[in-house]
Homo-oligomer: A and B are copies of this chain.
Amino acid sequence: MGILKFYWLTACAGLVSFAAVAQSRNSVSYVDPMIGSEGEGNVFVGASCPFGMVKPGPDVSRASNSGHTPDMATPLYGFSQVHVSGTGGGPKYGNILVMPFAGEFGEINQTSPRASETASAGYYSTVLSKYGITAELTTTARAAYHRYTYTNTGRRALRIDAGEFLGERPVPDSREAQQFVGSEIEVLSATEIKGYSRIRGGWNNGPAYTVYFYAVLDKPVSSFATYKGKRLQEGVKVQSDEGEKTGALLYFDGADVKTVQVKIGISFVSCLKAKAHLEKEIAGSTFDQVLQQAQQSWEVLLKRIQLDASTPADQLKMFYTALYHTMLMPADRTGDNPGWTSDQPYYDDFYAIWDTFRSSNPLITLLSPSREVSIVNALLDIYRREGYMPDARSGNSNGRTQGGSNAEVLIADAYVKGLKGINYNLALEAMLKDATIPPGGNEEKEGRGGLTDYNTLGYVSNQFVRAGNRTLEYAYNDYCLAIVAKGIKRKGEYQRFIQQSNNWKNLWRPVTDHGATGFIMPKDAAGRWIDSIPCSESNGRMSFVHYSPLAQDWPICVCWWCGFFYEASSWEYSLYVPHDVASLIQYAGGPAAFRNRLDTLFEKEYYNVGNEPSFLTPNLYHWIGRPDLSSTRIRQIIAKHYNSSYAGIPGNDDSGAMSSWLAFHMLGLFPNAGQSYYLINAPFVKQSTLHQENGKDFTITAKNFSAANTFIKAAWLNGKPLNQSWLEHEEIVKGGELVLEMDSKPGDWGTKVLPPSMSLDPLLN
């Protein structure tokens, strides 16, 4: 009892021989971490291992979610050890900063523009033009490796700052701002420095978390100073925590000191634990060895999907970078949890499940089902210890929900895909908690806000914010709960929640807009439709705006989180009924009307490629027997919005959400998360092979593949004709081959048998 067992997968373990890779180049060589670093991608560009806890990278702007900005002239202020990737809203982390410098000795803050920067999986490098220093970073899962090469003569220096972090704002307790709590630094010897940074707030408005570090230098310092606030003290070894920012300036005077290498162990538990991580993972290795290990740890996972040798380098780069982005988060922190001991895995930085449940988690399930099992088990352990599963979590704290309680989708997805090693009885209990117990005073933290409405009225009324997408998401969450309940023979819960999964219908209002009829619209608690919503106050008068299906009540009216829908219009959200597209089509006036509606959505650009609510939408043509139209839309979207440039991701990558959407579609598959099948589309590659953890391969081959042949004419699964436009997950697990015969025009493949819908399934009624 109480004894911590170490389950964390030694992500950067270097167990793989590169020789085993069949492709002409290693898959990892196609990864370009800079894709998505321009525009709105917000991706992390530094060094990382898969699901690694430590992510050392450049910090250029404290307002940047990744720390990075593409503008090379903007001065870089250091390299901190913990980052997230692709997020929006207020930043998180950016802790324990290292900054090399030459000159400006005795100053606390140094910055420099970058002359150039380079990144690959597990590696980042930049030249600090002001100081003539080349900075290189690599990492293990829990320890960072910094190598600084100086070109100046005379004194060289390094700052280790325990007070820096991203997202500080001048007003204390600002919403989404990280806030300083405390920091400490101690120079233990000429080569060892330890300390911590304690920060609260950030995007999920969480309580304080602490990032401890233990740094070891490869050269002894000649002299040093430490500081607290703005008071710099020569030779003072210790700055204890008085609620002020602390750090150390380290000086190297010998003429032979051209390179200073710093190894930094990180822990969320203690400095000694950080030291233990350093000693276990990195102490005996050179920079190049650590880098090679990091690359190998990526290669192990990336090569599980092998693309045909004919695939253009550009597409290989997009594809493998997409896989890479998908596996940056959540962070595996098993054994490094300051909250409790457990025999279960521990993951943090679900940021957010609302983003990742749709395609990231399903992609992880294909690449590494054991990893997905660990992730789900971590969610269940969080429920067991803290009371709710997260919909988002960071800094060891749940928060914050955007709409539904989407851990339900992860659990259902695991269940219907047959993942073993999950206690589904416990999982049902956790889901029932979400579905029945209101989360209380802070409805952004976890659980389901507005639940009292939902469970009495059958919808969330306009007295709660985000009533529209909450109702839609809860309905689907309820479907997911019901499916698991059914599976484990909990008939009472099944009946209740399969019924509740129809609740989206309670907000379906038969209004017509731009040729489409029927939209999810706001309703008050008395059951009356609401025609306008509060917008703003001026000179003591409230102004209201007419609420239409195209209204974007955020962020112009009310606050970002206070509208009827979260970050999308009713045009987008009204199509979010993933469990019962057949009913949705019927409600929308039948297949013809539905097709027109989808066409309008895409052609008038009511569809937002850069956000998650519409992730499934391009595939909805499948349900009117027109998978060809799905394929066409997908090709249009990718051609227009994705590419291999630094600006090649069309919105916040959101822990790899945007990237995983791309990766699936390049393969010609797309999951309907929480359900057991993949929709089949025209693949972007001639052949792809999934080398599964279970040892079985599944290959997708596009016969007659060419630039002109973008339609599927016919399909065979293991040699037998497959007339349906979807593929069951179990077929992949068993291993085999899906052959898609391509043509330049659509045929009748996929037009007769439509993909599953709850209302048409005799087993679900």
Contacts and interface: CB of A to CB of B under 8 A. Distances in A.
A386 B207 contact: yes
Interface size class of A (residues with CB under 8 A): 35 or more
A497 to B, nearest CB: 19
Nearest to A4: B243
A439 to B, nearest CB: 5
Contacts of A386: 207
A172 B381 CA distance: 13
B385 A173 contact: yes
A255 interface: no
Interface stretch (A180-188, A419-427, A553-561, A669-677): A180-188
A189 to B, nearest CB: 13
A240 B276 contact: yes
A441 B433 contact: yes
A285 interface: no
B2 A179 contact: yes
Interface stretch (A267-275, A353-361, A735-743): A267-275
Contacts of A210: 338
Interface in A452-501: 452
B452 A441 contact: no
A184 B270 contact: yes
A273 B185 CA distance: 11
A439 B440 CA distance: 4
A196 interface: yes
Interface string A223-247: 0000001000000001011111000
For this chain, the copies found in one complex come to 2
Given A2-B172, A240-B270, A276-B240, A181 B440 contact: no
Contact of A241 (B1, B269, B440, B442): B269
A283 B505 CA distance: 71
Interface in A240-289: 240-244, 269-270, 272-273, 275-276
Contacts of A440: 437-443, 447
Given A208-B338, A241-B273, A272-B241, A180 B384 contact: no
A275 B170 CA distance: 32
A437 B446 CA distance: 16
B229 A182 contact: no
Contact of A182 (B1, B208, B244, B341): B341
Given A270-B240, A388-B441, A441-B388, A339 B3 contact: no
Contacts of A198: 269, 338
Nearest to A277: B240
Interface in A160-192: 170, 172-173, 179-182, 184, 186
Contacts of A388: 441
A14 to B, nearest CB: 23
Given A172-B2, A207-B386, A270-B241, A341 B438 contact: no
A240 B272 contact: yes
A335 interface: yes
Q: Which 8 A-B pairs have the closest CB atoms?
A: A440-B440, A4-B243, A240-B272, A243-B341, A439-B440, A2-B180, A437-B441, A240-B276
24 contacts: A1-B172, A2-B172, A3-B229, A4-B242, A4-B244, A180-B341, A181-B340, A181-B341, A184-B272, A198-B269, A210-B338, A240-B275, A241-B270, A241-B273, A242-B335, A243-B335, A388-B441, A433-B441, A437-B441, A438-B440, A439-B440, A440-B442, A440-B447, A441-B446
